[in-house]
Amino acid sequence: MSHTWDPDRYLTYADERGRPFVDLITRIDAHDPTTVVDLGCGPGNLTALLAERWPGAAVSGVDSSPEMIAKAGTTIAGVDFAVGDVRDWVAPDGGVDVLVSNATLQWLPDHLELLPRLVDQVRPGGWFAFQVPGNFDEPSHTIRTELAAQEPYVAHTAGAAVPSSYDAATYLRALQDLGCEVDAWETTYLHVLRGEDPVFTWVSGTGARPTLQALPDGLRLEFEGELKERLRAAYPDDGRGVVLPFRRIFAVARRAEI
């Protein structure tokens, strides 16, 4: 079941969403790369950090969402953006020096099997780094899953995309099996969110978006109201902001030299 993305909604918590990206690229020890690609670049605001990190490189961003690429193209100068699918993307000119994928692979149920092909797009001695959410057992996800499985919603939401990921050790071993030198870890961020129904605002821009778009208008409003109520109970605001724990899984791999 297809869905679309809203760049402005996604960017509501841009600083919080950007922290894992910064932590990820800090661990990439690439010196003077010539080609850097952000695979699943979204609205491009973080791709700009790659251009700042490696000003001598040709930096490009690829995303399957035309809406995200349109946003990126109007706000980021000096970076090439294109619509493309992670599953069939092919690196230009025989490979890239740095390949980054931030909060994208969790949308591909077979992404573990996709890792060999992605590593193959990196030149020998180059770097492949990615980050995925690891919080799918948290109320921000389980409440949506439970609610979507109930009547009258389930008839519409059964085919909606649902993100998933593995633990850091699984990614470490998978990349080691491909001959890479690997640094893998996890971090739980404690985001303090403010505003009206901030957790709903967060999830409606990412993990819950396919479920919400699968519902017809009237039923969507009913679903949203119930989801907001349950999220408020799970993430109470004591006057100092709502705390959203968010676990992230990281892997930075260097492809072996030939």
Is 99 part of any domain? yes
DSSP state at residue 256: P
What pLDDT, on the 0 to 100 scale, is given for residue 74?
Answer: 76
Is 124 part of any domain? yes
Cα–Cα distance, 114 to 112 (Å, whole number): 5
Q: Summarize pLDDT for 135-191 with one digit per residue, the tens.
A: 999 999 999 999 999 999 999 999 999 999 999 999 999 999 999 999 999 999 999
Is 43 part of any domain? yes
Check: CB of residue 115 under 8 Å from CB of residue 175. yes
Q: Could you tell me which of 215, 41, 193, 190 has the C-alpha nearest to residue 130?
A: 41
Cα–Cα distance, 183 to 133 (Å, whole number): 17
What CATH number should be reported for the domain holding residue 196?
3.40.50.150
Is 144 part of any domain? yes
Domain range enclosing 78: 7-254
Is 2 part of any domain? no
Q: Could you tell me which of 186, 184, 200, 180 has the C-alpha nearest to residue 120?
A: 180
Is 174 part of any domain? yes
Beta strands per DSSP E along the chain: 35-39, 58-63, 80-83, 96-102, 122-133, 181-193, 242-254
The overall pTM is greater than 0.95? no
Average pLDDT over residues 194-211: 91
Is 1 part of any domain? no
- Other residues' Cβ atoms within 10 Å of the Cβ of residue 26: 11
Number of domains in the chain: 1
Q: Summarize pLDDT for 56-71 with one digit per residue, the tens.
A: 999 999 999 898 899 8
